[in-house]
Homo-oligomer: A and B are copies of this chain.
Amino acid sequence: MLSAIVEDYLKAIYYLQNETDGRVRTSALAEYMDVEQSTVTSMMKKLSERNFVHYEPYQGVKLTDTGVPIALEIIRHHRLLERYLTDHLEYDWAEVHDEADRLEHHISSQFADRIAEQLEDPAVDPHGDPIPTADLDVSGAKYEDTLADHQVGDSVRIERVPDKDPALLRYLSEHGIHPGTVVDVVETTSFGMVTLDPDSGDEPVALPDEVARSVSTRSLTKGAN
């Protein structure tokens, strides 16, 4: 019915419209999908034709009520697969993304349901991203702040890390940073660096601001300054 490519476009639009909180621009999609803008334009016309998106020339696109559940279904597949690969097939969390990104389009919903059952309906994937339920509810796990939003001295719990960069994931895991890890913010600099001290006893870790902004957190205690 739907090609893997079409599904990937819908998923990309879903992500981007939740980030920018509005219409998704052709340029943003082209960058995200790693194709030329003209390719995006022609694809948007087709998706619009099929009623998956609202498309206004020169103004960007937005998923329709038909498009959203398709995107969510694929995201459910993706995150369940990541969870399954790490929990049952000994994958490292840095390896799962690519495998899940292919398989998400080819497993049946029966397959998804079976692995969900074996995993006992997990709420989040290995990177802390919420897994939509079987009826595509995604209300759980809205992360508000990030590592970049805290003050020196704050104690915070890591909730979610970006899942697409294996090098970053390996770096984080080498320094004991996972969803669930509690860290103290020990330093922030004017030139864009955040230093964390994990409660686990691991050595302090330094992260550039851009990374810090992509790591979701929950505030535990405010620092005493």
Say yes or no for A189: interface residue by CB 8 A criterion: no
Say yes or no for A115: interface residue by CB 8 A criterion: yes
**CB pair A99 B114 closer than 8 Å:** no
Among the 9-residue stretches A22-30, A33-41, A100-108, A209-217, the one with 4 or more Cβ atoms under 8 Å from chain B is: A100-108
| Chain A 88-130 per-residue mask, 1 if CB under 8 angstroms from chain B, else 0 | 1111000100010011011110110011001000000000000
Nearest B residue to A107 by beta-carbon distance?
A: B103
**Chain A binding surface SS class:** helix
**CB pair B103 A115 closer than 8 Å:** no
Partner of A102, one of B85, B91, B106: B106
Nearest B residue to A105 by beta-carbon distance?
A: B106
**Chain B nearest CB, measured from A112 CB (Å):** 11
List, in ascending order, chain B residues with CB within 8 A of A89's CB: 111, 114-115, 118
List, in ascending order, chain B residues with CB within 8 A of A102's CB: 106
User: Number of contact residues on A: which range applies?
Assistant: 10 to 19
Q: Which of A142-194 contact B (CB under 8 A)?
A: none
Partner of A99, one of B91, B95, B111: B111
Q: Which of A69-102 contact B (CB under 8 A)?
A: 85, 88-91, 95, 99, 102
Q: Roughly how many angstroms separate A88 CA and B85 CA in the complex, as a whole number?
A: 14
List, in ascending order, chain B residues with CB within 8 A of A88's CB: 118
Q: Roughly how many angstroms separate A91 CA and B108 CA in the complex, as a whole number?
A: 12
List, in ascending order, chain B residues with CB within 8 A of A95's CB: 110
Residues of A at the B interface (CB closer than 8 Å) are: 85, 88-91, 95, 99, 102-103, 105-108, 110-111, 114-115, 118
Q: A85-B111, A99-B107, A99-B110 are in contact. List 17 more A-B contacts (CB 8 A).
A: A88-B118, A89-B111, A89-B114, A89-B115, A89-B118, A90-B114, A91-B110, A91-B114, A95-B110, A99-B108, A99-B111, A102-B106, A103-B103, A103-B106, A103-B107, A105-B106, A106-B106
10 pairs of A and B residues whose beta carbons are closest in the complex: A89-B114, A102-B106, A106-B106, A103-B106, A99-B108, A90-B114, A99-B111, A103-B107, A89-B115, A103-B103
